[in-house]
Amino acid sequence: MVSRVIPVDRFDLVIFGGTGDLARRKILPGLYRRFCAGQMPDGARIIGAARSDLDRGAFQDMVRDAITEFGTGAPCEGATLDDFLETLDYMRVDARGEDGWDALKDMLRDDSDVVRAFYFSVGPGLFGDIAARLQSHGLATEDSRVVVEKPFGRDLGSARALNADLAQHFREDQIYRIDHYLGKETVQNLMAVRFGNVLFEPLWNAQFVDHIQITVAETVSVEGRGAYYDKSGAMRDMVQNHLMQLLCLIAMEPPSRFDPDAVRDEKLKVIRALAPVEPHHIVRGQYEAGGGVASYRDHAENPKSFTESFIALRCHIENWRWAGVPFYLRTGKRMKARMSEITVVFKPTRHSIFDIGEGEDVHSNMLHIRLQPNEGMTLDVTIKEPGPGGMRLVTVPLDMTFSEALGPEAEDVPDAYERLIMDVIRGNQTLFMRGDEVEAAWAWTDPIIAGWEARADVPKPYEPGSSGPEDALMLMHRDGRRWREIKA
């Protein structure tokens, strides 16, 4: 297969928070893997900027350790790692002070052919300070880009304030709001399958789709970040961003072109068409203690916490395409298995010419889009069970990942962060959230959260290692449907 990796321009990438957890676990090992893949141009430079008092050598040592610990899978030898470390530099800066900024400016190349990007891998409380100092110290240029991490606000008001802070110093086409779910291979493959084939799009509507499920199940607890998580909960931490983004891509109208604003305009229309969720269509849960692990409330160090570590909800998109089609979303911690999956359940055939025995299921086609683990897609199709004994129907999965057809290169896909950072350098905003999208998502989420607070809604306890509270299963059973089994 001929590789069609789009080369990137030379760049200076400054990572604010370059010594932090996210930089060490994801950003720097991701950049290293792109370096190993030969995708980093000569003259690429990465500059860590943080509060710690390090020099270049100490930062390189820190990055070497981080890559050893987290950079699994990088097909690189020791000498290549040394070459990568040579691209690094470090400057101590205080986002809230003036020290270090002029020296950081001197490190950057004054060359319009070199892309200049600033990654804000720090808490959102520092976004405005950093943006302002980039301007006041003359580091920001007409074309430089800024990358901001989640959480982008905790409600509509705070998201608007963040957008306004950034807008004072940067245009929207310079701002890259990360949602790493959008960087996943299968998420992009979903668009290719929908809009690159004639087969699916005619069926992608209320006439043929019974319902759509989105599950993001995690096995981890909130241990270690319980106090932080307790101020947020599953709705703010997962639904408002990741699940909403997946919902948008699955439900949006075909954009006129695969171009950043065309795609994001269509996603925005989906969010704006979401109906308010009825309180009885939401189930919130909190994990109990079990399996040698403490309960959510213990992890949150808040014995009276009403914050949810699990949520399941049913929502509706009020437009022509999706009228009457429920979308079921669920996400939670301490669940049975780690699994992120979207399933499109099609309606059964209008009339079955086959005898269906009592108790036997009517077969429906289902398209499963798996984000993790084992990214891939399968389509359940109905065929005749082989062998004698009459016409019995079975459902078999049709593997649509095509890894065999595409060869080993199809296996060697970049991780979500790697892809997104390279998109920043290429100047492609398609897989980044626009400011109005984020605000629209909060505008939908805020009244739901306000309702819980007004009612002092208490989450249902659930057993760790389960599929969540019983009521979440009932949410579907009441509608005569069932969730996909959570399994790795």
- Residue 280 is a binding residue for ligand NAD (CB under 6 A): no
Q: Report d(CA 198, CA 196) in Å as an integer.
A: 7
Find the binder of ligand NAD among 28, 31, 50, 329 (CB under 6 A). Answer: 50
Based on the shown chain and the rule CB under 6 A, indicate whether residue 412 belongs to the binding site for ligand NAD: no
Report the residue number, 28 or 252, with the smaller CB distance to ligand NAD.
28
**Stretch in the footprint of ligand NAD (CB under 6 A) among 17-25, 199-207, 269-277, 397-405:** 17-25
Does 21 interact with ligand NAD (rule: CB under 6 A)? yes
Q: Which of 93, 300, 424, 431 binds ligand NAD (CB under 6 A)?
A: 93
The two tokens of residue 368 are 């499963």
**Residue 17 is labelled as binding a ligand:** yes
* Binding residue for ligand NAD, selected from 12, 149, 423, 446, defined by CB under 6 A: 149
Q: Min. distance of Cβ 325 from ligand NAD in angstroms?
A: 31
Between residues 149 and 437, which has the closer beta carbon with respect to ligand NAD?
149
Is residue 26 a known part of a binding site? no
Q: Which segment (93-101, 251-259, 330-338, 368-376) binds ligand NAD by CB under 6 A?
A: 93-101
Question: Considering only 13-21, 61-69, 154-162, 437-445, which stretch makes contact with ligand NAD by CB under 6 A?
Answer: 13-21
CA distances from 130 to 90, 100, 123, 126, 168 (A): 16, 12, 11, 6, 12
- Geometric angle at alpha carbon 329, from 328 and 334, rounded to 5°: 135
CA dihedral 160, 161, 165, 167 (to 10 degrees): 20
Residue 379 tokens, joined? 């389509």
SS3 label, residue 332: strand
In the DSSP assignment, the letter for residue 239 is I
Between residues 241 and 286, which has the closer beta carbon with respect to ligand NAD?
Answer: 241
By CB under 6 A, residue 225 contacts ligand NAD: no
Report residue 329: phi and psi, to 5°: -120, 140
Q: Is 477 an active-site residue?
A: no
Q: Which of 418, 408, 427 is nearest to 173 (CA)?
A: 427
Using CB positions, name the residue nearest to ligand NAD. Answer: 20
The single residue among 10, 22, 158, 460 that binds ligand NAD, judged by CB under 6 A, is 22
Q: Measured from the CB of residue 158, what is the shortest distance to ligand NAD in angstroms?
A: 13
Taking phi over 0 as left and psi of -120 to 50 as alpha, with beta for the rest, 128 belongs to alpha
Backbone torsion region of residue 265, taken as left when φ is above 0, otherwise alpha when ψ lies between -120 and 50, otherwise beta: alpha
Interface with ligand NAD (CB under 6 A), residue from 7, 38, 52, 61: 52
Nearer to ligand NAD by Cβ, of 17 and 255: the residue is 17
d(CA 96, CA 114): 27
330 Cβ contact list (under 8 Å, min separation 6)? 213, 214, 215, 216, 217, 310, 311, 312, 313, 468, 472, 483
Crossing angle for the helix pair 260-273 and 435-455, to the nearest 10 degrees: 20
Minimum distance, C-beta of residue 133 to ligand NAD, in the bound complex (Å): 10
Q: How many residues bind ligand NAD (CB under 6 A)?
A: 24
Structural tokens at position 61: 């040592």
To the question of whether residue 20 is assigned a binding role by annotation, the answer is yes
Binding-site sequence positions for NADP(+): 17-24, 51, 150
Catalytic residues: 242
Which parts of this chain interact with ligand NAD (CB under 6 A)?
Answer: 16-23, 25, 50-52, 93-96, 121-124, 126, 149-151
